[in-house]
Amino acid sequence: MKLDFSDERVMAVVAHPDDAELLCAGTLARAKADGAAIAVCVLCRGDKGQPRKKLAKLSAVRRKEAACAASLLGARVFWAGFADGTLADGPAQRSKLIEVFRQFRPTLVFAHAPSDYHPDHRAASQLAEAASWFCASRGHSTCSPAMRTQPALWWMDTLGMTDFNPGFHIDITKQVPIKEQMLACHHSQLSRGRDPDFSDLTQLMRRQYRTRGLQAGVAAAEAFCAHVAFRRLGAF
């Protein structure tokens, strides 16, 4: 069985500028190769992703790094600009993300799993689920018109694969080079690998795509789980 993303419009909604690279970039690249339109919405600006004294204007640096990674994929980037560590599911945040959905009009959304380890990721999960429902509700007014129907929603794997039971795996063996190139754009984070309180992201990513690949009998894979809810499953 092989999924074909050719008629899809796929948007990853992530908390931080490097999350898409770690958790779904291989699948986004596969979708792009099939002919799908791709977008990444980064909710937080990455301003606390490094000790403040080390790098001035970190948010601007991380925005450029995210743009660099997305350009390798030919993806549109939406930058919501919320501060790290403060993300919450509230009316203002929903309204902002609803408008993002209405501008791109995705048919399939990737979002952090509700069980994710990171508080910003869990908030992003709730926010993405709510906004990707209300984007098709005409009662929720934003600048752009409501979508005709809600997009399907897939939960992404968690970093380190804890507390996440994959519903299915996507073979990304051919997309490993671009996934690695995209992560390599995040110089500010990769340089933190020497910090004792920070993980080596490249190693972490490799272990994860190889482990998910092992589970699925391929060299590399990304794991997802469909959001099993009314109007959210889609058929592929």
Residues that bind Zn ion (CB under 5 A): 15-16, 19
CB of 121 to Zn ion, least distance (A): 6
Please say which residue, 43 or 147, places its beta carbon nearer to Zn ion: 43
CA distances from 64 to 38, 43, 45, 184 (A): 18, 15, 11, 13
Q: Which is nearer to Zn ion, 107 or 158 (CB)?
A: 158
Q: Are 28 and 67 in contact (CB under 8 A)?
A: no
SS3 175: helix
Taken in order 228, 230, 234, 235, is the CA torsion positive or negative? Answer: positive
Q: Which is nearer to Zn ion, 16 or 102 (CB)?
A: 16
CB of 201 to Zn ion, least distance (A): 10
Instruction: List 25's β-bridge partners, or say none.
Output: none
Residue of minimal CB distance from Zn ion?
16
Cβ 34 to Zn ion shortest distance, Å: 27
Sheet of 37-44: strand order equals: 76-82, 37-44, 9-14, 108-111, 152-156, 221-226, 168-171
**Closest separation in Å from C-beta 15 to Zn ion:** 5
- Measured from the Cβ of residue 230, the count of other Cβ atoms closer than 10 Å reads 7
For the CB of residue 111, give the shortest distance to Zn ion in the complex, in Å: 12
Smaller CB separation from Zn ion, 16 or 32: 16
C-beta of 102 vs 192, nearer to Zn ion? 192
